Amino acid sequence: MKIRIVTVGKLKEKYWADAVEEYRKRLTRFADISIVETEEASRLPTPDAIRRKEGEGILAKLKGYVILTDLGGDMPDSEGFAALFEKARERGVSEISVVIGGSHGVSEEVRKAADVRVSFGRMTYPHQLMRVIVAEQIYRAMTISAGTAYHK
């Protein structure tokens, strides 16, 4: 299975990049994992214009089954998140895109393109930190499915 984490912008701080890379490396034994960065549009005049422009970049990179991180999404536990990947695999899905929007969120077009929307809680997190959280939760999901000891 191929898993793509599609995200807006580049990680500027080394500690975030190191954490994401650690989980990316761990995931290689379960899936072909890649991080796909789209262009940040922070210089546009309004949040709506930013979401639209960033949304165009996200939509251009989506492949396969699309999981969107979204405050308005369902809030599964780790086993429920793992089940999303298992069900996709059972249906013959070969590629999953997990989307992390920019600091202003995502456009309505990106929401409509999602097969499922998932919330990691009602709190707001910096999108750089969300990369680490999403990478860790994908790793956790894979270990749950594989029955390894990581998830307790």
Instruction: Report the binding-site residues for S-adenosyl-L-methionine.
Output: 101, 120-125
Half-sphere exposure of 57 (CA within 13 A, CB side): 19
| Token duo for residue 28 | 């290689």
Mapping DSSP to helix (H, G, I), strand (E, B) and coil, where does residue 122 land?
A: coil
Binding-site residues, in ranges, read 101, 120-125
d(CA 32, CA 142): 12
Backbone torsion region of residue 92, taken as left when φ is above 0, otherwise alpha when ψ lies between -120 and 50, otherwise beta: left
CA 33, distance to chain mean position in Å, is 11
C-alpha distances out from residue 48 to 55, 60, 109, 126, Å: 10, 18, 12, 18
